[in-house]
């Protein structure tokens, strides 16, 4: 497992569907070592703090293995590091092998996996393909967000060490399926909401589904 590239960008205003929108999705590789803080990388920023950023989504990692998949799928050869808006382009961290709550050491920093990435219209604009977010989500190749447990410098070429595997074994891909495609798997929802590392927003949504189910069961008793 390895960190191939660190990618950053401050928010900038672009035109999307004839509207001016602030976005930090246009990440560019940065040379040398970069300080990873509790909320972001030095020199990086997010424009939409409701859906990106914050303590639980400080940085976004994407497996470089998926670059070849999307190149074949879309017939494109123009991808560069940061193509999917990720801060960390990595190898060896595939979504069906990484679990919510897993901890990884990169350089001086310690990070914890918190949730899959949900694509939006800004990714569609960057990829110049309005249908791309649906393809991205359905593929399971979403990458994932991380919380910073210990700050420190990181840089391209750093090895990635998994220092903890969450005992519940809920993978990033399984959680994405649970939220959007496997919506009636209530047993797995119970597992998910019990994981401390899960982002509060996703925990609340899953708890609402569980509460609705329990309400329906009581109503039918």
162, burial (CB in 10 Å: exposed 0-12, middle 13-18, buried 19+): middle
193 — pLDDT class (breaks 50, 70, 90) = very high
As a whole number, mean pLDDT of residues 35-40 equals: 93
Which CATH number characterizes residue 40's domain? 2.40.33.20
Distance CA 112, CA 191 (A): 18
**SS3 state of residue 1:** coil
Residues in the chain: 221
Structural domain span for residue 57: 2-219
pLDDT the model gives residue 217: 63
Distance CA 55, CA 158 (A): 23
Distance CA 27, CA 8 (A): 5
- For residue 115, what are the β-bridge partners? 145
Q: Which of 68, 41, 65, 66 is nearest to 52 (CA)?
A: 41
User: Structure tokens of 199?
Assistant: 């982002």
105 — pLDDT class (breaks 50, 70, 90) = very high
Which tens digit of pLDDT belongs to each residue from 41-66?
998 877 666 656 689 999 999 999 99
Interior angle at CA 211, CA 170 and CA 49, nearest 5: 65
Q: Assign residue 82 a region (left: φ > 0; alpha: ψ between -120 and 50; beta: otherwise).
A: left
Report the sign of the C-alpha dihedral through residues 199, 201, 62, 181, in that order: positive
Total of domains in the chain:
1
Which tens digit of pLDDT belongs to each residue from 136-164?
999 999 999 999 999 999 999 999 999 99
Higher pLDDT, 219 or 172: 172
Which tens digit of pLDDT belongs to each residue from 164-187?
999 999 999 999 999 998 888 999
Determine contact, residues 188/27, Cβ cutoff 8 Å. no
Asked if pLDDT for residue 216 goes beyond 90, the answer is no
């Amino acid at each position: 497992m390895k960190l191939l590239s660190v990618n950053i960008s401050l928010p900038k205003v672009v035109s999307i569907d004839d509207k001016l929108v602030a976005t930090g999705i246009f990440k560019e590789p940065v040379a040398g070592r970069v300080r990873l803080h509790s909320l972001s990388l030095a020199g990086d920023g997010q424009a939409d703090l409701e859906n990106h950023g914050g303590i639980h989504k400080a940085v976004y990692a994407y497996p470089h293995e998926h670059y070849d998949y999307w190149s074949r799928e879309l017939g494109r050869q123009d991808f560069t590091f940061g193509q999917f808006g990720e801060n960390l382009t990595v190898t060896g961290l595939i979504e069906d092998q990484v679990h919510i709550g897993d901890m990884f050491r990169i350089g001086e920093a310690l990070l914890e996996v918190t949730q899959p990435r949900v694509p939006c219209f800004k990714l569609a604009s960057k990829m110049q393909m309005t249908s791309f977010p649906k393809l991205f989500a359905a593929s399971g190749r979403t990458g994932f967000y991380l919380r910073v447990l210990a700050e420190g410098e990181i840089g391209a070429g750093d090895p990635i060490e998994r220092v903890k595997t969450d005992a519940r074994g809920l993978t990033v891909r399984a959680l994405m399926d649970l939220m959007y495609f496997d919506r009636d798997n209530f047993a797995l929802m119970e597992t998910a909401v019990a994981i401390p590392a899960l982002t509060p927003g996703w925990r609340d949504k899953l708890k609402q589904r569980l509460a609705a189910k329990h309400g329906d069961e009581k109503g039918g008793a």
